[in-house]
Amino acid sequence: MKIIIIKFGGSSLADPDKIRRAAAMTVASRRRGFSPVAVVSAPAESTDDLLSLASLTAGDCIPPRESDALLAAGEQFSAALLAMAIEAEGKKAVSLTGSQAGIRTDNRFSAASVKNVDTRRLKKEIRDGRIPVVAGFQGISAGGDITTLGRGGSDLTAVTLARALGAALTEFRTDVKGIYSAHPAIVPQARKLKNISYQEVIALARLGTDVRQLRAIDYARKYSIPLHLRSSFHDEPGTMVTATGGKPGVSCLSVKKEGVSALVSLIGRGLGAKHTAAAARAAASAGVSAAAEKITSTAISFRASAAEAETLIKALHAVFITG
């Protein structure tokens, strides 16, 4: 059967109701013909809470090994609770730590790299009809110590397992519905994108919109792992991330405030001089002074004052997206 990796972000696991909803979504993927493997983040703010607990307890003297042992517990909370909630739905599930899921890393605490994945246990659980629920963000070193993969590392767990298990699809379920043509709080007409390319998501992550852990997107690109970024609260489709993405041209806009100035970027495919010129005209007719800074075929950035960034985004959206 086709395997689907469903990764739930921390805000989607913040309380029992949300965990039950995640359980129902995981189980429902079977009706779509998939064999699900869930990957979970720690509930909401719990990683930060654990970090402050560590410094309240030990000040600046936190041994890296113990910090990783502590932080990995956050994801283990989520995994055990989600597995229980799936069992409560009448389906068999098993929570697994990174180590139990066979994720072997080097020994760089707090920023470990995955060396390989021993999938035997996972495959056995799947064969036996259980839904594995894997604690994200963690693995085990050759010396047998718990390691973590860096902040936001559960995304990396998801794509790593997708590759190791040959998954047909990887879903990232979070509290956002997908990637939008612009931030809807700035541009009410912003549209949810059906498709986007890995390169564009990488550009977005660099140029302002904190979409996903960059390492995970880069990994997905390298191994052509299709991603579906979608909501954990609704079943409507989100945004598919693939090598080809959507139509060539501008797909979305991002803004990165840097003190009194802001970097406003057009993100898309096959961008060039004509997009730069059209953007410059749009800025001029909106009365915003904006200087082109960096031009690649995936992103064209303009420097404007922070105060005028929103006006510029609205003008660019009207020309390139709704226009």
Residues that bind ligand ASP (CB under 6 A): 10, 41-42, 47, 74, 136-137, 151-155
Beta carbon nearer to ligand ASP, 42 or 140: 42
Among 3, 4, 7, 10, contact with Mg ion (rule: CB under 5 A) = 10
Beta carbon nearer to Mg ion, 81 or 190: 81
- Our finding on whether 43 is near Mg ion (CB under 5 A) is no
Check the CA dihedral 206-212-218-220 and report its sign: negative
Partner from Mg ion, ligand ASP, none contacting 36, C-beta within 5 to 8 A by type? none
CB 54 within 8 A of CB 74: no
What is the secondary structure of 247-300 as a DSSP string? Answer: SSEEEEEEEEEETTEEEEEEEEES--HHHHHHHHHHHHHTT---EEEEE-SSEE
Least distance in Å: CB of 314 to Mg ion? 31
- Our finding on whether 41 is near Mg ion (CB under 5 A) is yes
**The 239-242 sheet, strands edge to edge:** 93-96, 131-135, 34-40, 2-8, 169-174, 227-231, 239-242, 195-197
The residue with its CB nearest to ligand ASP is 154
Q: CA–CA separation, 310 vs 286, rounded Å?
A: 11
Least distance in Å: CB of 18 to ligand ASP? 15
HEC assignment per residue over 110-179: CCCCEEEECCHHHHHHHHCCCEEEEECCEEEECCCCEEECCCCCHHHHHHHHHHHHCCCEEEEEECCCCC
Query: For residue 114, which phi and psi values (nearest 5 degrees)?
Result: -75, 130
Least distance in Å: CB of 150 to ligand ASP? 8
Least distance in Å: CB of 37 to ligand ASP? 16
Name the segment binding Mg ion (CB under 5 A); options: 9-17, 157-165, 251-259, 262-270.
9-17
Retrieve residue 124's tokens.
Answer: 């056995």
Partner from Mg ion, ligand ASP, none contacting 254, C-beta within 5 to 8 A by type? none
Beta carbon nearer to ligand ASP, 155 or 310: 155
Least distance in Å: CB of 35 to ligand ASP? 23
Beta carbon nearer to Mg ion, 41 or 298: 41
Beta carbon nearer to Mg ion, 30 or 151: 151
CB 243 within 8 A of CB 198: yes
Beta carbon nearer to ligand ASP, 121 or 151: 151
Largest Cα span, the chain: 65
Least distance in Å: CB of 45 to Mg ion? 9
Residues that bind Mg ion (CB under 5 A): 10, 41
